[in-house]
C-alpha cells in the first residue's frame, strides 16, 4: 500500500461546500500530474439516495455502472477526471447491511459484532478498495455531515485509525468550517475553535483549515485561528464566497498555495501546475456579453440541488457560447391553474425551455402545457428523461388528437399509454435499484438533428428511469411526424425524439447532464444554449 489519503471533514453546520472544496483539491493535484480518486461517505442509513425525495437529498447522481449516489459525485466529475463507480460512494446503510450479512453467514465465528472493529474494518476495506489500486497516488475522502453528528462518529473513528494503520506521512486532514459574521459585520472565530476542538477530542488534529466566509479573512484573523486550532498560519485557508463562478475556487486555493502545502505535508513532488484551463473557463464566464433566459419547468424547483447537474450543464453551455445563463425556475405544478393567458405571461420572455426528469404525477400537466407552448411558438425546448416523455405525450395529444394520451405511470387505464413500463418490470413492486440504470449505448439515426450534434452513429449515455416510449404507438407517432432520432442498438427502445420543423426541440431518455464539464461542455447543452442565443437575438 503506497497511496496517500486526504480526509475532508466539515464543522459548525452543513451545506458549506465540502464537495466543491474536495473537488477543487482533487483538480489541483491532478494538475500536478497525480492520479486522484474521490470517495463520498454519506452517514445516512439509506443504502443509497435512490428512493429519497429530491427535497430531502437533492439530485441523484448516476455513475456508468448504475450506482445511485450523492450529488457531490457530480462535483467530483465536473472538477476532476477521477473515474467514478459504485465503490466511490459509501453509506451507513451499505456498511451495516454488509456487516449484518456476514454475521448471519457466521463469518465472525461467534464473536460479538461491534462498531469497533467490525464496522470500522468494513469502512476501511471499502476505502482501501479504491485507494490501494496501483495507479492511484492520492485518494480524497469526503465525510458527509458535520463533526458532532452522531451518524458520522464511526467514519471519523475510521479516519483516525488511518493514522495508526498507515502513519501520519500518508494521511492528511482538511477541515472546512464556517466563519460567521455578526450584525456589525465582524467575523467570529469561536464556532471554528469549538469545531476543531470537537475534532481533536475524537483524536484528529486537522492539518489544514478551510475558512468559509463571505469575504477573505484578514491576516490577523488567520493568526488567531492558527493559534486556537494548532494549525500553521499558511495552512489556514480563506474559502471566501466567489463573485463570479464556483469554478474559480481552484484558482483561489492555488493563490494561497493550498496545493503546495498539501504536496509538502504528504511528501509528494512539487511538479509544475498549469491551471490555464480553469483560467479560460473563468475568463469566458466573466467576459460574457449577453444573457439568455432559460426556463426550467420542473416539480422540484424550490430546492436548487434538486437539478444540480442540469443547472451546471447549462452554465457549461453558457461558457461555451460566451453568454450568461439566467435560470428562471417555473413550478410546473402551478401552470395548469394559470390558464392559457397566464401560461403566455409566464413563458413569453424566455429564450428556451428545459423540462427535466422526475417521478410521480404531480406537475405533469404543467410540463405538458409548457412543451406545447414551446412547440407552437418554435421556442428551443430540451426534454430530459421524463421531459422527453412529456414532449411525446403533448405531441400525441395535439397532433394525433389523442386527448387521453399519457404515461401509464400516471394514467394506468389510458387507451393511449404512449409511455409505459418495460414488459419485464410490470410486476416489480420494489423501487430501489429496479430502474434502467447506468451507461448503455444508443444508435443515432443519420440525418437527424441529434446526429449533427453528436457527429457519431453510436453514443453512450447514462439512464435512470423505469418507463419508455411504448412500442405499441411508435409507428403511429412517427407517421404523424414525430422523429425518433436514437434507439437502443437492437432497435427495441426509443432513446431520443425530435419535433419536426422546429429550430431545437429535442427530447432524450437519458441524462446527458451527468457527463458535462466546464472544460468540455456536453454537446447537447452547448447546442441548446446556442439555439437560445439565436432566439434571444431574433
Residues forming the active site: 385, 511, 513
**Residue 252, C-alpha cell as written in the block:** 483561489
**Rounded to an integer, what is the distance from CA 354 to the centroid of its chain?**
17
Contact 66, 437 (CB under 8 A): yes
Cα Rg, the chain, nearest whole Å: 25
| Euclidean distance between CA atoms 158 and 282, whole angstroms | 38
Strands 417-421 and 352-355, how do they pair?
unpaired
Contact 90, 35 (CB under 8 A): no
Contact 535, 348 (CB under 8 A): no
**DSSP E strands, 255-322:** 290-298
Number of residues assigned to the chain: 538
| Euclidean distance between CA atoms 264 and 249, whole angstroms | 21
**DSSP E strands, 179-333:** 208-213, 236-240, 290-298, 323-331
**Residue 388, C-alpha cell as written in the block:** 422527453
| Euclidean distance between CA atoms 338 and 335, whole angstroms | 5
Instruction: Give the DSSP H/E element, type plus range, for residue 41.
Output: strand 36-42
Of 499, 516, 251, 289, which Cα lies nearest the Cα of 381?
Answer: 499
Collapsing DSSP states into helix, strand and coil, what is residue 465? strand
Within 411-522, residue ranges assigned H as helices are 449-454, 474-479
Rounded alpha-carbon distances, angstroms, from residue 224 to 12, 123, 219, 236, 339: 18, 35, 9, 10, 59
Instruction: Give the DSSP H/E element, type plus range, for residue 352.
Output: strand 352-355
Long-range contacts of 117-120 (CB under 8 A, 24+ apart): 119/95, 119/154, 120/154, 120/157, 120/158, 120/161
**Rounded to an integer, what is the distance from CA 329 to the centroid of its chain?**
18
Of 183, 321, 189, 174, which Cα lies nearest the Cα of 258?
Answer: 174
Amino acid at each position: 500500500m503506497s497511496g496517500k489519503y486526504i480526509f475532508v471533514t466539515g464543522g459548525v453546520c452543513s451545506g458549506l461546500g465540502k464537495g466543491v472544496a474536495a473537488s477543487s483539491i482533487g483538480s489541483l493535484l491532478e494538475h500536478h500530474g497525480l492520479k486522484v480518486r474521490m470517495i463520498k461517505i454519506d452517514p445516512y442509513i439509506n443504502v443509497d439516495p435512490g428512493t429519497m425525495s429530491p427535497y430531502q437529498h437533492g439530485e441523484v447522481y448516476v455513475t456508468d455502472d448504475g450506482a445511485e449516489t450523492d450529488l457531490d459525485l457530480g462535483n467530483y466529475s465536473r472538477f476532476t477526471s477521477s473515474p467514478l463507480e459504485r465503490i466511490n460512494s459509501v453509506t451507513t446503510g451499505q456498511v451495516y447491511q454488509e456487516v449484518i450479512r456476514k454475521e448471519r453467514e457466521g463469518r465472525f465465528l461467534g464473536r460479538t459484532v461491534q462498531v469497533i472493529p467490525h464496522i470500522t474494518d468494513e469502512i476501511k476495506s471499502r476505502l482501501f478498495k479504491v485507494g490501494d489500486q496501483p495507479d492511484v497516488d492520492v485518494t480524497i475522502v469526503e465525510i458527509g455531515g458535520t463533526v458532532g453528528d452522531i451518524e458520522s462518529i464511526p467514519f471519523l473513528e475510521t479516519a483516525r485509525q488511518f493514522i495508526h494503520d498507515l502513519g501520519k506521512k500518508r494521511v492528511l486532514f482538511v477541515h472546512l468550517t464556517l466563519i460567521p459574521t455578526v450584525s456589525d459585520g465582524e467575523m467570529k472565530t469561536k464556532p471554528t475553535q469549538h469545531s476543531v476542538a470537537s475534532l481533536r477530542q475524537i483524536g484528529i488534529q486537522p492539518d489544514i483549515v478551510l475558512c468559509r466566509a463571505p469575504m477573505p479573512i484578514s491576516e490577523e484573523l488567520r493568526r488567531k485561528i492558527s493559534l486556537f486550532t494548532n494549525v500553521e498560519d499558511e495552512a489556514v485557508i480563506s474559502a471566501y464566497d466567489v463573485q463570479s463562478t464556483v469554478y474559480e475556487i481552484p484558482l483561489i486555493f492555488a493563490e494561497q498555495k493550498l496545493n503546495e502545502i498539501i504536496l509538502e505535508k504528504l511528501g509528494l513532488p512539487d511538479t509544475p501546475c498549469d491551471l490555464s484551463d480553469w483560467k479560460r473557463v473563468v475568463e469566458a464566464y466573466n467576459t460574457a456579453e449577453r444573457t439568455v433566459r432559460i426556463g426550467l419547468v420542473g416539480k422540484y424547483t424550490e430546492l436548487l440541488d434538486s437539478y444540480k447537474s442540469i443547472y451546471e450543464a447549462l452554465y457549461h453551455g453558457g461558457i461555451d457560447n460566451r453568454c450568461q445563463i439566467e435560470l428562471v425556475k417555473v413550478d410546473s405544478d402551478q401552470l395548469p391553474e394559470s390558464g392559457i393567458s397566464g401560461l403566455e405571461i409566464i413563458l413569453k420572455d424566455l429564450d428556451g425551455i428545459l423540462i427535466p426528469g422526475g417521478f410521480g404525477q404531480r406537475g405533469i400537466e404543467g410540463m405538458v402545457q409548457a412543451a406545447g407552448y414551446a412547440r407552437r411558438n418554435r421556442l428551443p425546448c430540451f426534454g430530459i428523461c421524463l421531459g422527453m416523455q412529456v414532449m411525446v405525450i403533448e405531441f400525441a395529444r395535439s397532433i394525433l388528437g389523442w386527448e387521453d394520451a399519457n404515461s401509464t405511470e400516471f394514467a394506468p387505464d389510458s387507451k393511449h399509454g404512449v409511455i409505459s413500463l418495460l414488459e419485464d418490470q410490470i410486476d416489480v413492486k420494489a423501487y430501489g435499484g429496479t430502474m434502467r440504470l447506468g451507461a448503455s449505448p444508443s444508435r443515432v439515426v443519420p440525418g437527424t438533428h441529434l446526429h449533427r450534434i453528436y457527429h457519431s452513429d453510436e453514443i453512450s449515455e447514462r439512464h435512470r428511469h423505469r418507463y419508455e416510449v411504448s412500442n405499441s404507438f411508435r409507428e403511429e407517432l412517427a407517421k404523424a411526424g414525430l422523429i425518433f432520432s436514437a434507439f437502443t442498438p437492437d432497435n427495441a427502445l426509443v432513446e431520443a425524439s425530435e419535433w419536426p420543423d422546429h429550430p431545437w426541440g429535442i427530447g432524450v431518455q437519458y441524462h446527458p447532464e451527468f457527463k458535462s464539464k466546464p472544460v468540455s461542455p456536453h454537446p447537447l447543452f452547448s447546442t441548446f444554449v446556442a439555439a437560445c442565443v439565436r432566439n434571444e437575438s431574433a
